[in-house]
Amino acid sequence: MQSTRDAIAGRLFTLPVLVVSLVLVAYPILYGIGLSFFDTNLVNRWDFIGLENYARLATDGSFLNSILVTFGFAFLVVAGNLVVGTCLALLLDRGLRYTTVFRVVLVLPWLFPEVVVALIWKWMYNPVYGLFNADLLAAGIIDEPVAWLDDPNLALFAVALAAIWKGYPLVMVLVLAGLQTIPRELYEAASLDRAGRLGKFRHVTLPGLRPVLLAVVVLETAWWFKHFTIVWLLTSGGPAGATSVVSIDIYERAFKNFQWGDAAAAAVVVLVICLALSAIYQKVLHRDDS
Amino acid sequence: MTRNAIRPADAVAYGLLVLSSLVVLVPVGWMLSTALKGSDELFSQTVRWLPQNPSLDAFVRVFTDYPFGAYFANSILIVTVSTVIAIAFAALAGYGVTRFHFRGRGSLMTFLLLTQMFPSIMLLIPYFKLFQSVGLIDTRTALIIAYVSFQLPLCSWMMVGYFRSVPTELDAAAAVDGCSRLRTFFQIILPLTLPGVAATAIYAFISGWNEYLFALVLTSSEDKKTVPVGIGQLIGQYRIQWNDLMAASLYALVPLTLIFIFLQRRIISGMTAGAVK
Chain B: residue nearest A256 by CA?
B217
The residue among B118, B220, B245, B262 with the most chain A CBs within 10 A of its CB, best to mutate, is B118
Lowest mean per-residue pLDDT among A59-63, A265-269, B118-122? B118-122
Q: Among A25, A114, A134, select the one facing B212 at the smallest CB separation.
A: A114
Domain count for chain A, please give it.
1
pLDDT score of A132: 84
| Average predicted confidence (pLDDT) for chain B | 85
Residues B201, A70: Cα–Cα separation, whole Å = 31
- What Cα–Cα distance (Å) separates residue B106 from each residue in A7, A265, B153, B215? 13, 31, 14, 33
DSSP states along B73-137:
HHHHHHHHHHHHHHHHHHHHHHHHHHH---TTHHHHHHHHHHHTTS-THHHHHHHHHHHHHTT-T
Name every chain A residue with its beta carbon within 8 A of the beta carbon of B103: 7
Please indicate whether, in this complex, the C-beta atoms of B47 and A165 are within 8 angstroms of each other: no
pLDDT of residue A46: 86
Q: Name the minimum distance, in Å, from the CA of B121 to any CA of chain A.
A: 7
**Nearest chain A alpha carbon to B127:** A28
Cβ-contact A264, A36 below 8 angstroms: yes
| CATH number for A249 | 1.10.3720.10
Which of A42-46, A179-183, B1-5, B32-36 is most confident?
A: B32-36
Domains of chain B: 7-56 (no CATH), 66-236 (1.10.3720.10)
Please state, in angstroms and as integers, the Cα–Cα distance from residue A33 to each residue in A36, A222, A265, B20, B122, following that order. 5, 19, 7, 44, 9
Note whether B249 and B230 are within 8 A (CB).
Answer: no
* pLDDT at residue B161 in the model: 87
Q: What is the ipTM of this complex?
A: 0.87
In a domain, A216, yes or no: yes
The per-residue pLDDT for B171 is: 87
Q: Tell me if B231 and A28 make a contact (CB, 8 A cut-off).
A: no
Q: Which residues of A touch B231 (CB under 8 A)?
A: 115-116, 119
Q: Give pTM, 2 decimals.
A: 0.88
In angstroms, the CA B182 to CA B171 distance is 11
Rounded Cα distance, A72 and A244, in Å: 11
A3 part of a folded domain? no
Tell me the average pLDDT across B44-54.
78
Contact A129/B42 with Cβ under 8 angstroms? Answer: yes
Q: Is the dihedral of CA A251, A168, A186, B276 positive or negative?
A: negative
User: What is the nearest CA distance from A96 to chain B, expressed in angstroms?
Assistant: 8
Mean pLDDT to the nearest integer, B157-173: 88
- Amino acid making up residue B248: A
DSSP string covering A235-289: HTT-STTTT--HHHHHHHHHHTS--HHHHHHHHHHHHHHHHHHHHHHHHHHHHHH
What mean pLDDT is reported for chain A? Answer: 88
Please indicate whether, in this complex, the C-beta atoms of B3 and A6 are within 8 angstroms of each other. Answer: no
Gap between the Cα atoms of B218 and B125, Å rounded? 10
CB contact (8 A) between residue A113 and residue B14: no
Mean predicted confidence (pLDDT) in A152-179? 92
Distance from CA of B277 to the nearest CA of A (A): 23
Decide if A233 contacts B234 (C-beta within 8 A): no
**Residue B58, burial from CB neighbour count under 10 angstroms (0-12, 13-18, 19+):** buried
A156: pLDDT strictly greater than 90: yes
The pLDDT score that the predictor gives to residue A142 is 85
Q: Which residues of A touch B13 (CB under 8 A)?
A: 91, 94, 96
Is the Cβ pair B145, A91 closer than 8 Å? no
pLDDT confidence of residue A83: 95
pLDDT value for B1: 46
The 3-state secondary structure of B4-42 reads CCCHHHHHHHHHHHHHHHHHHHHHHHHHHHHHCCCHHHH
Residues of B in contact with A247 (CB under 8 A): 119, 121, 213
**Judging by beta carbons within 10 Å of its beta carbon (0-12, 13-18, 19+), is residue A118 exposed, middle or buried?**
buried
pLDDT per residue as tens digits for the range A85-142: 999 999 998 888 888 888 888 988 988 999 999 999 999 998 888 888 888 888 888 8
Beta bridge partners of A47: A39
Per the CB < 8 A criterion, the answer to whether B95 and B162 are in contact is no
Q: Phi first, then psi: what are they for A39, rounded to 5°? A: -100, 110
Q: Which residues of A touch B148 (CB under 8 A)?
A: 20, 24
Which residues of chain A lie closer than 8 angstroms to B102, CB-CB?
6-8, 10-11
For A191, nearest residue in chain B (alpha carbons): B2
Q: Do A222 and B116 touch (CB under 8 A)?
A: yes
Angle between helices B242-276 and A114-125 (to 10 degrees): 140
What percent of chain A clears pLDDT 70, i.e. is strictly above it?
97
Facing residue for A123 by CB, picked from B34, B97, B185:
B34
A92 within a domain of the structure (yes/no):
yes
Nearest residue on chain A to B7, judged by CA atoms?
Answer: A96
CB B139, CB B74: distance < 8 Å: no
Q: How far is A285 from chain B (nearest CA, A)?
A: 17
Coil, strand or helix at A47: strand
The answer to whether residue A20 is domain-embedded is no
Q: Nearest by CB to A14, which of B97, B128, B256? A: B97
Predicted confidence band at B212 (pLDDT cuts at 50, 70, 90)?
very high
Give a yes or no: residue A71 inside a domain.
yes
Residues 6+ apart with CB under 8 A from B43: A128, A129
Nearest of B231, B170, B66 to residue A233 by alpha carbon: B231
The terminus-to-terminus CA distance of chain A in angstroms comes to: 43
Distance of CA B212 to CAs A114, A241, B15, B27, B264, Å? 8, 22, 36, 21, 25
pLDDT tops 80 at residue B2 = no
Q: Which residue of A10, A25, A28 is in closest CB contact with B96?
A: A10
Please compute the mean of the pLDDT values over residues B36-53 and round it to a whole number.
79
Predicted confidence band of residue A289 (pLDDT cuts 50, 70, 90): low
Q: Distance between CA atoms of B272 and A269, rounded to whole angstroms?
A: 48
For A224-264, how does the pLDDT look when each residue is reduced to its tens digit (9 = 90+)?
A: 998 999 999 999 887 888 999 999 999 999 999 999 999 99
SS (H, E, C) B151-209: HHHHHHHHHHHHHHCCCCHHHHHHHHCCCCHHHHHHHHHHHHCHHHHHHHHHHHHHHHH
Phi, psi of A48 (to 5 degrees): -75, 125
Q: Does residue B268 surpass a pLDDT of 50?
A: no
Q: Provide mean pLDDT across the span A173-195.
A: 84
Nearest C-alpha of chain B: how many angstroms from A201? 12
Looking at CA atoms only, how far is residue A172 from chain B in angstroms? 12
**Is A118–B27 a contact, with Cβ atoms under 8 angstroms apart?**
no
Whole-angstrom CA distances from A202 to A187, B3, B104 are 11, 16, 43
pLDDT attached to residue A82: 95
A129–B43 C-beta distance less than 8 A? yes
List the domain range (segments joined by +) for residue A279: 55-289
- DSSP helix/strand/coil, A40: strand
Q: Is residue A241 part of a domain?
A: yes
In a domain, A139, yes or no: yes
Is residue A15 included in any domain, yes or no? Answer: no
Task: Grade residue A50 by pLDDT with cuts at 50, 70 and 90.
Answer: confident
Asked if B92 and B184 count as a contact pair (C-beta separation under 8 A), the reply is: no
